[in-house]
């Protein structure tokens, strides 16, 4: 006994140490995030939640997941801690800070779906620069395995991260769209297109950013002021040599076609684990050699690329800018005509077509979902489908696709990506009289009921009570007998999650109402079958006060109904939870109720014998 007492004391000590360690770790993490932006005004409007990645020249911008305090909307906060620049001379520090400010200011001027969306302008404090944008995943550089300045430990999302072919293809399409806008509408030359200047948002969309070195062209976009590569300033405020076009050296000029060279080199890097044709290591002499090597560039050197795009990338990497296709032309090559890429592209333009065309597209979408990687389905497809949830007429076409993705997803993926989106559908109530959407809402409830087992399997118990039970109530209140029957069939499967108060005041009254008001025999029988399965989870007093009176007041005398009533009473008598029915209840309420039933002329001999035997 003494040994056991010592063992218990030792166990309590270990437990206390572990708990204290967990608390200290959690508090330390929160303290770390609070210390990121001391005195910066961005913290007034945004609360930092967790570190994400890094972006921009030298990956100096740290990216944090954040929430806007006023709206609770998800966002990203980009932070540059000035202490990271301590290794530079004062003049160089000022140049870097000025360049970083310019990039954010330029971002504020440009509004386009393919440009990173700024939500809060740049704020400067003694220790940092910071601004807020749409919710982000990280930079393309992070996805390629470059983690400079990423808060340790590296987020688990980047572990073994690999870009899928369809993500690369559609990512390039999005970049082409953004570049076409910059070149043709804004007359802007990006000048530093590379993985660090491309942000992937939380929905998996690729966004142009990193405008620190951009050049504004003339009004007609014909000329761009030339700025030579300057070896006397830090490399991070020069264009990245690995992606820089050869005309910087050969003709001391550039234009928007120089961005297309960078795009070609980016494509090569995407298929080569982030490595370009030549890695210059910030050495201009190596860049000059690369320019010479491009004279003998052939398809063999591009063998890492898919065969059907090699010749097109070779054109992008041409020494002569005039031979390179522009952004609009490159986006139209056959390489981007595969089903996955076209589907993602069509999803982005879907709201430009009418409901009929959209519904036809959604009907064919399951065939594509089966072929796409899960990450693409979760980030791109599910996010696009969510936008339709505000339109009741489209929900019945969209919802089956969402459940198809949910079925393939892990429980963790379902809870992170799918369930928060489904909550919008759960809120659908009865339509206003004459609204014309009642049929759509009935269809939606029917789809929800058919997929209830899937949701119950993947949804945490607390969310079932808070979000799914109200859906069940709506289904029981529905005017469709098909919806009601499906609902009655699934209720017993999660009866253990329903507390007695909800069962007594929300579930049983609805079952009673359906049982009394329906004119369909199958619905009434299913009400009783459901009730029979629920009895085992009810306590004695609910059975006596609610169930027995309900059975006694059913007006119908069809054999199926009477046998179902008898079955419920049998289950109630043998229920381990309720301890069976008391003798006085049997003598005064059950037997006097069963005796008249036994002489119903609709019963056959076998059914009558069952009742007599029970009595």
The strand pairing partners of 80, in sequence order, are 129
Tell me the Ramachandran region of residue 514: left when phi exceeds 0, alpha when psi lies from -120 to 50, beta otherwise.
Answer: alpha
pLDDT of residue 23: 39
Query: How many angstroms separate the CA atoms of 382 and 376, rounded?
Result: 9
pLDDT of residue 3: 40
Domain 42-158, classified CATH 3.90.1300.10, yes or no? no
Q: What is the pLDDT of residues 6-54, one digit of tens each?
A: 444 444 553 454 344 433 444 444 545 656 677 899 999 999 999 999 9
pLDDT of residue 34: 59
Q: Token pair of 381, please? A: 């497809």
The closest alpha carbon to 280, from 294, 295, 270, belongs to 294
Q: What is the pLDDT of residues 502-530, one digit of tens each?
A: 888 999 999 999 999 988 899 999 999 99
Find the radius of gyration of the CA atoms of the chain. Answer: 33
**Residue 301 above 80 pLDDT?**
yes
Mean pLDDT throughout 271-277?
96
Helix axes of 395-408 and 419-426: crossing angle, nearest 10 degrees: 150
Mean pLDDT throughout 480-495?
89
**Residue 371 above 90 pLDDT?**
yes
pLDDT of residue 430: 60
pLDDT of residue 437: 58
Residue 549: how many other CB atoms lie within 10 Å: 11
Question: What is the band of 576 on the pLDDT scale with cuts at 50, 70, 90?
Answer: low
**Residue 129 above 80 pLDDT?**
yes
- For the entire predicted model, the pTM comes to 0.84
Question: What is the band of 327 on the pLDDT scale with cuts at 50, 70, 90?
Answer: very high
Strands of 61-68's sheet in order across: 46-55, 61-68, 74-81, 128-133, 118-124
Q: What is the pLDDT of residues 70-103, one digit of tens each?
A: 999 999 999 999 999 999 999 999 999 999 999 9
State the residue for tokens 């079958």: 529
User: So what's the architecture of 165-333 in CATH?
Assistant: Orthogonal Bundle (1.10)
pLDDT of residue 32: 53
Helix axes of 508-517 and 469-476: crossing angle, nearest 10 degrees: 20
How crowded is the C-beta side of 292, counted as CA atoms within 13 Å?
A: 6
- The alpha carbon dihedral of 261, 263, 268, 273 has a sign of positive
Question: What is the band of 173 on the pLDDT scale with cuts at 50, 70, 90?
Answer: very high
| DSSP-derived 3-state class of residue 48 | strand
pLDDT of residue 2: 47
- The alpha carbon dihedral of 81, 87, 90, 93 has a sign of negative
């Amino acid at each position: 006994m003494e040994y056991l007492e010592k063992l218990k004391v030792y166990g309590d000590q270990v437990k206390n140490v572990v708990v204290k360690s967990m608390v200290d770790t959690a508090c330390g993490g929160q303290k770390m995030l609070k210390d990121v932006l001391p005195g910066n005004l961005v913290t007034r409007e945004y609360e930092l939640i967790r570190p994400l990645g890094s972006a921009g020249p030298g990956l100096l911008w740290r990216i944090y997941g954040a929430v806007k305090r006023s709206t609770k909307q998800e966002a990203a906060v980009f932070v540059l801690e000035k202490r990271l620049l301590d290794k530079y001379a004062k003049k160089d520090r000022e140049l870097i800070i000025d360049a970083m400010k310019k990039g954010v200011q330029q971002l504020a001027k440009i509004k386009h779906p393919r440009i990173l969306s700024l939500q809060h302008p740049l704020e400067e404090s003694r220790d940092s620069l910071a601004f807020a944008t749409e919710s982000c995943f990280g930079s393309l550089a992070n996805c390629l395995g470059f983690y400079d300045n990423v808060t340790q430990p590296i987020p688990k999302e980047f572990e073994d991260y690999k870009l899928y072919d369809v993500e690369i293809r559609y990512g390039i399409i999005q970049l082409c769209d953004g570049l076409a806008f910059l070149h043709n509408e804004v007359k802007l030359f990006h000048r530093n297109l590379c993985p660090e200047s491309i942000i992937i948002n939380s929905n998996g969309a690729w966004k142009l950013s990193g405008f620190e070195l951009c050049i504004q062209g003339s009004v007609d976009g014909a000329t761009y002021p030339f700025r030579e590569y300057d070896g006397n300033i830090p490399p991070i405020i020069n264009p990245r040599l690995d992606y820089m076009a050869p005309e910087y050296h050969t003709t001391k000029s550039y234009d928007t076609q120089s961005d297309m060279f960078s795009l070609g080199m980016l494509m090569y890097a995407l298929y080569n684990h982030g490595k370009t044709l030549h890695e210059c290591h910030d050495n201009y002499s190596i860049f000059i050699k690369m320019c010479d090597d491009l004279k003998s560039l052939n398809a063999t050197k591009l063998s890492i690329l898919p065969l059907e795009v090699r010749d097109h990338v070779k054109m992008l990497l041409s020494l002569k800018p005039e031979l390179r296709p522009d952004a609009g032309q490159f986006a139209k090559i056959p390489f981007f005509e595969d089903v996955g890429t076209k589907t993602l592209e069509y999803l982005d333009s879907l709201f430009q077509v009418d409901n009929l065309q959209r519904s036809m597209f959604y009907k064919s979408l399951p065939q594509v979902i089966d072929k796409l990687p899960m990450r693409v389905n979760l980030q791109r497809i599910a996010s696009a489908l969510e936008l339709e949830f505000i339109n009741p007429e489209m929900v019945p076409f969209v919802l089956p696709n969402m459940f198809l993705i949910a079925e393939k997803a892990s429980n963790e993926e379902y809870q992170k990506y799918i369930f928060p989106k489904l909550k919008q559908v759960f809120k659908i109530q009865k339509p206003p009289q004459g609204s014309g959407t009642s049929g759509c809402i009935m269809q939606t409830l029917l789809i929800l009921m058919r997929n209830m087992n899937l949701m119950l399997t993947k949804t945490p118990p607390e969310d079932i009570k808070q979000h799914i039970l109200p859906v069940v109530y709506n289904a029981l209140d529905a005017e469709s007998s098909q919806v009601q029957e499906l609902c009655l069939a699934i209720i017993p499967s999660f009866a253990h999650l329903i507390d007695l108060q909800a069962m007594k005041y929300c579930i049983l009254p609805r079952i009673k109402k359906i049982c009394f008001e329906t004119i369909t025999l199958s619905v009434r029988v299913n009400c009783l079958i459901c009730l029979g399965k629920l009895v085992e989870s009810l306590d004695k007093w609910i059975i006596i006060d609610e169930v027995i009176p309900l059975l006694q007041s059913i007006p119908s005398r069809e054999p199926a109904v009477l046998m179902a009533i008898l079955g419920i009473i049998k289950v109630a008598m043998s229920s381990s939870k309720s301890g069976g029915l008391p003798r006085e209840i049997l003598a005064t309420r059950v037997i006097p109720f069963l005796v008249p039933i036994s002489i119903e002329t609709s019963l056959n001999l076998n059914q009558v014998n069952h009742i007599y035997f029970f009595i």
